[in-house]
Copies of this chain bind each other. A is one copy, B any other.
Amino acid sequence: MAYRDEKLHEEKVFKDPVHRYVHVRDRVIWDLVGTKEFQRLRRIKQLGTSNLTFHGAEHSRFNHSLGVYEIVRRILINFADRPNWNKEERLLCMCAALLHDLGHGPFSHSFEKVFKLDHEDYTKQIILGNTEVNQVLLRVGPDFPQKVADVINKTYKDKLVVSLISSQIDADRMDYLQRDAYFTGVSYGHFDMERILRVMRPYEDQVVVKESGMHAVEDYIMSRYQMYWQVYFHPVTRSAEVILTKILHRVKALYEEGYQFKMEPTHFISFFEEKVSLEDYIRLDEAVVYYYFQMWADEEDSVLKDLAYRFINRKLFKYVEFNPNLQMKEWMELYQLFHKIGLDPDYYLVVDSSSDLPYDFYRPGEEEERLPIHLLMPNRELKELSRQSDIVEAISGKRRTDHKLYYPRDTILKLSDDRPEKKRIFELLYQ
């Protein structure tokens, strides 16, 4: 039997708290899960620094990747006998679902920003490069790795396949909303996925949803909205991320100015020099990062030492709403006050912004085009979701943004009350 059609002798299952069981019947999927590149995802948390806010959120990307695979598997059972659906794409869809986050590193957001990386690029490299994953995919067919990479990259010719993995109501989002809700313990993030899966239909080049399932989709959109603001953009999580980013900035700056580290930051050198090989990238898992942070908390440099200590021991920055009306003059004053009390404002006075667009219809030509969700009406016509749903219409296309100013309140509170800077800093922050 061709490798692509090979089934396991007995179905294997993974016990999964969110989907109850993840079912594997295909040999290819089983082999992919066993690769070291996929196993590495166990050492990368799904939500980065969120566990410092929600202590349950310690789940890994391994967890989530299996979940996305499982959702796609279930969708495809539903699609199996439908017209418009090409059964040949089944394995491709499931592989792309399983591997879509393969290139994520630890704390991707901060690492990408500081070291100018792109995790999607590494996903592609792992799939196409000299890896165990690549070897498994190659056994399916010589062009199979490229196909998987194309689907994940949204450049695959069959857009219907792409939309299963990447759209405003794809398997990725449906998994992470439920999973992150489960592990954080928040009561948002619940929606009737079973119903959504049952009303999904392949329709020309996209997955659409039967109109009778509209309310389940509304509920999903609201879940998404709440999860963004209650969990993903939680200000305490962002405080940890601010510190993390500043650690990376500092250590890079120190390296560039020839600072002598107590322990050579071997794993980081290629990151500092912005020429990260695939091998370097893969080696840098979350354990390695934590190891270095622990080391750096013992460094001589007081900024690095302090920030690393803060991150490891969760002595985070506090925040105030950033006042957009702050005059340049006042901002400069604040900046100088920080200098005066010995805190480098580049590291200790940080504005962080979050922004979310809960749902959007298609506006071609815009930077980040988002495919709309279409409802399949009883008359077989399509209608864009926000035209049918009052609720979605109400929040559609409305970007919400939030700016916060982070600073080390504990340090400033420890200053003597005699120091005039202390009082003035708080005046400026809380005006």
Chain B residue numbers with a CB within 8 Å of A391 are: 222, 225, 391, 394-395
Total chain A interface residues with beta-carbon distance under 8 A: 67
Cβ-closest chain B residue relative to A36: B313
Chain A residues in the interface with B (C-beta under 8 A): 11, 13-18, 20-21, 34, 36, 39-40, 42-43, 51-52, 54-56, 58-60, 62-63, 66, 182-188, 190-192, 194-195, 198, 215-216, 218-219, 222, 225-226, 229-230, 283, 285-291, 294, 312-315, 390-391, 394-395, 398, 400
Question: Chain A interface secondary structure, helix, strand, loop or mixed?
Answer: helix
- Alpha-carbon distance A290/B291, docked complex (angstroms): 9
Contact B192 A17 (CB under 8 A): no
How many monomers of this chain does the complex have?
Answer: 4
Chain A to chain B: the 4 pairs with minimum beta-carbon distance, closest first: A394-B394, A17-B185, A287-B290, A291-B291
| Neighbour of A183 across the interface among B17, B195, B287, B288, CB < 8 A | B17
- Alpha-carbon distance A314/B291, docked complex (angstroms): 21
Distance of A393 from chain B, by nearest CB (Å): 8
Cβ-closest chain B residue relative to A181: B17
Cβ-closest chain B residue relative to A60: B58
Distance of A203 from chain B, by nearest CB (Å): 16
Chain A to chain B contacts (Cβ below 8 Å), 18 pairs: A11-B198, A15-B184, A16-B56, A21-B194, A36-B313, A40-B313, A42-B55, A42-B58, A56-B63, A187-B191, A218-B226, A222-B222, A283-B294, A285-B294, A288-B294, A390-B395, A390-B398, A390-B400
Interface centre among A13, A15, A390, A395 (most CB of B within 10 A): A15
Contact B198 A192 (CB under 8 A): no
Chain B residue numbers with a CB within 8 Å of A187 are: 190-192, 195, 216, 219
Chain B residue numbers with a CB within 8 Å of A40 are: 313
Task: Evaluate whether A194 and B60 lie within 8 angstroms (CB atoms) in the complex, with A391-B394, A391-B395 already known.
Answer: no
Task: Evaluate whether A63 and B58 lie within 8 angstroms (CB atoms) in the complex, with A39-B314, A286-B287 already known.
Answer: yes
- Alpha-carbon distance A229/B214, docked complex (angstroms): 11
- Alpha-carbon distance A13/B182, docked complex (angstroms): 18
| Neighbour of A55 across the interface among B16, B216, B219, B390, CB < 8 A | B16
Interface centre among A18, A63, A185 (most CB of B within 10 A): A185
